[in-house]
Chain A
Amino acid sequence: AQSVSQHNHHVILSEAASLELGCNYSYGGTVNLFWYVQYPGQHLQLLLKYLSGDPLVKGIKGFEAEFIKSKFSFNLRKPSVQWSDTAEYFCAVNTGTASKLTFGTGTRLQVTL
């Protein structure tokens, strides 16, 4: 069974700092990778996804992620965070034709002014 690891549980950054959140998965076959974001009091929203093709994917609000197959990683990046990026970020994977999403435990990002 696949699993997803998010190593950073709680990250605190100042506005304008650069962000990188780690995500590693364990599965040897074809994968689809996702980052979801949950802003305070709101529901989970898709930030970006990798299905195939270019391993560098761009999402909403200036976020991007790079799929590195050899490292089983899909790290999320943003060059300059804003206070409004304060949220919980979840990495998720589904494998092959399966539609079940397996989530990581999430990373809580706190951006200070």
Chain B
Amino acid sequence: EAGVVQSPRYKIIEKKQPVAFWCNPISGHNTLYWYRQNLGQGPELLIRYENEEAVDDSQLPKDRFSAERLKGVDSTLKIQPAELGDSAVYLCASSLSSLSKEQFFGPGTRLTVL
């Protein structure tokens, strides 16, 4: 069974540039999560999707961050414009449903903003 796939694995951009991250969850998993992991910290939830609906985006900085999950499968997280403080690892995770307590994580995208 394929795991959660993310791309790119690494991204280096200059501040004020836009950037996008892509996630393909495990087949059949209805719930998708985006987390941000700052250096030396644990992951923090940015947004959670149930199928194509964003049901918890309270931690998403909506002035510059946006996300979508068209058709309830793949998801894209975008930052525009990026700031120096956005440098982090962006993790995607999925679970069968919101009732399922186990989340499966992808390898993450390491973003460096110069």
Contact = CB atoms under 8 A, between A and B. Distances in A.
B107 A42 contact: yes
Interface string A38-80: 0000111110010100000000000000000000000000000
Contacts, number: 53
A32 B101 CA distance: 8
Interface size class of A (residues with CB under 8 A): 20 to 34
B48 A103 contact: no
A13 to B, nearest CB: 20
Contacts of A36: 105
A43 B108 contact: yes
Contacts of A103: 42-44
Given A99-B48, A99-B95, A106 B106 contact: no
Contacts of B40: 105-106
Given A49-B102, A104-B42, A99 B107 contact: no
* In the complex, the 5 A-B pairs of residues with the closest C-beta atoms, listed nearest first: A103-B42, A44-B105, A99-B98, A43-B107, A43-B105
Interface of B: 3-4, 31, 33, 40-45, 48, 56, 91, 93, 95, 98-108
